[in-house]
Amino acid sequence: MSGPLDQLIRQHWWAAVAALCRLTGDLEAAEDAVQDACVVALERWPATGVPANALGWLIGVARHKAVDRLRREAIRGAKEAASMREPEGSGPEQDTAPEPVDQLSLVFLCCHPALDASARVALTLRSVCGLSTAEIAAAFLVPEETMAKRLVRARAKIREARIPFRVPSQAELPDRLGAVLRVIYVLFTEGHMASRGDALVRGDLCDTAISLARGVAGLLPDEPEAMGLLALLLLTDARRAARTDDLGELVLLEDQDRGRWDRDMIAEGEEILETALGLGRPGPYQLHAAIAACHSTAVSAAATDWRQIALLYGELIRYEPTPVVEANRAVAVAMAEGPAAGLVILDALAHHPQLWRWAQLHIARAELLRRLGRDDEAAGAYRAALELEPAPASRSFIARRMRELTGG
């Protein structure tokens, strides 16, 4: 999809599938019906023009298509199909009006913890973001058939195990929202870090994740963590243009041309973060966003407030007691107090079996050793990172550093 009409349709996909999911009680039926309605729209709209209420139009047509399909396939009894059609005479507008609660229900359905974690991401891309199976398969570099099976299986589980289409209760919300935000974060990271494929940054996935985060934050205005995630993604993605050089290679934060950072995005991210923090319920995404803001607002790499960043990572450990957070704190400490102080923290993590297999740790150690002038040990750490088969862009970064170290 690329034309303006396609984009318009994709913009309405979430609300339309959500409304149809409420009407049909079945995710697959809802998607099929909205897909049918989109085909009709693409046929008619170029001639007739886009209706004033395009979303209402799509939902209305999709509803007819859903009834037709139910009749044709006789999935359910004729009575039920008829009952779905009934409100039409009394007031179609009422029935076809999109409801924010439906949109939330759809996200919570696709991100339900009873679904496999990778299926949650795929299903959200399909049902909420409107990507085709082929596009999702391409994003995750798996054959289309594999992705199609994953989606079929996830929808079958929703139906067979009766995973509910509803907004979780206040008591359930923290956990369930956590699962939703996690899906969006994973999606963004996949675009931002691109562990698969040769491109370092895949902007389309970042854009999708941001618009999803924007939607969820807008639907849950009292949830500071939803805002925190949106702020984090905006503040991080604002650096996109400066993150890779002309050859597509990784440019470290300290070497980036800050003039290429998107100032509007940074300003928006900061504003949203302020609002979130103002609600007085801190959480990991708000802390991550605050760290990103420290970088984005520094006029130069040298002006970065590393002491503040080290403190924020210290706070973050309370929510995410992982060695990865501790490793990041070590880097911040190294910047604030010197590489030796950071190296002490990193070396203390060295015996952690899981972290030792994490290439980024070795790259961080290598960088600190290099700054301390311990070139042989630095080269050894870079080699250790290479053995862990990091992403292609990281590989070429390491190769560059190794050449510098050996003077070749």
Partner 1 sequence: MKYMLLLNRMADALPESGTPDLDRINQEYAVAVAAMGQAGVLIDCAPLAAGSSTTTVRVRDGETIITDGPSAEIKEQLGGYTIIECADLDEALKWAAIIPAARDASVEVRPIVAAQAPV
How far, in Å, CA of 70 to CA of 195, rounded? 42
156 vs 253, which CB is nearer to partner 1? 156
Contact window for partner 1 (CB under 8 A) among 115-123, 271-279, 335-343, 387-395: 115-123
What are phi and psi for residue 224, nearest 5 degrees? Answer: -60, -30
**Max Cα distance, the chain (Å):** 80
Find tokens 């501790």 and name the residue: 326
**Dihedral sign from CA coordinates of 215, 221, 222, 225:** positive
Nearer to partner 1, 74 or 134 (CB): 74
Which own/partner pairs from 36-41 qualify as long-range (CB within 8 Å, at least 24 positions apart)? 36/61, 36/62, 36/65, 36/69, 37/61, 37/62, 37/65, 38/9, 38/13, 40/65, 41/5, 41/9
Q: Is 153 in the site for partner 1 (CB under 8 A)?
A: yes
Q: Which of 47, 52, 114, 141 binds partner 1 (CB under 8 A)?
A: 114
Q: How far apart are CA 159 and CA 310, in angstroms?
A: 47
- Nearest residue (CB) to partner 1, 101 versus 399: 101
| Spatial distance between the Cα atoms of 273 and 68, rounded to a whole number of angstroms | 47
Between 119 and 369, CB nearer to partner 1: 119
Residue 170 makes contact with partner 1 by CB under 8 A:
no
DSSP 111-149: T-TTS-HHHHHHHIIIIIT---HHHHHHHTT--HHHHHH
Q: Does residue number 348 form part of the binding site for partner 1 (CB under 8 A)?
A: no
Closest CA to 156 of 26, 282, 348: 26
**How near is the Cβ of 19 to partner 1 at its closest, in Å?**
20
Applying CB under 8 A, among 81, 115, 183, 330 the residue interacting with partner 1 is 115
- The reply on whether position 113 binds partner 1 by CB under 8 A is yes
CB of 160 to partner 1, least distance (A): 4
Closer CB to partner 1, residue 160 or residue 376?
160
Contact between 157 and partner 1 by CB under 8 A: the answer reads yes
H helices within 194-262, ranges in order? 203-219, 224-237, 240-243
CB 59 within 8 A of CB 9: no
156 lines the binding site for partner 1 (CB under 8 A) = yes
By CB under 8 A, which span of 44-52, 133-141, 152-160, 220-228 interacts with partner 1?
A: 152-160
Q: Is residue 181 near partner 1 by the rule CB under 8 A?
A: no
**Residue whose C-alpha is closest to residue 263's, from 289, 232, 239:** 239
Told to check if 119 binds partner 1 by CB under 8 A, we report: yes
Give the whole-angstrom CA distance, residue 213 versus residue 216.
Answer: 5
The smaller minimum CB distance to partner 1, of residues 109 and 381, is found at: 109
Q: CB of 165: closest distance to partner 1 in angstroms?
A: 9
Q: Which of 4, 72, 93, 160 binds partner 1 (CB under 8 A)?
A: 160
Options 41, 55, 163, 167; binder of partner 1; rule CB under 8 A:
163
Residue 284 or 339: which CB sits closer to partner 1?
284
Piece of 89-97, 116-124, 256-264, 315-323 that binds partner 1 (CB under 8 A): 116-124
Residues 6+ apart with CB under 8 A from 321: none
CB of 136 to partner 1, least distance (A): 18
**74 contacts partner 1 (rule: CB under 8 A):** no
Residues in contact with partner 1, total (CB under 8 A)? 17
Binding test (CB under 8 A) with partner 1, winner from 52, 162, 198, 246: 162
DSSP H or E run through 95: helix 92-96
Q: Where along the sequence are the contacts to partner 1 (CB under 8 A)?
A: 112-117, 119, 153, 156-157, 160-164, 168, 172
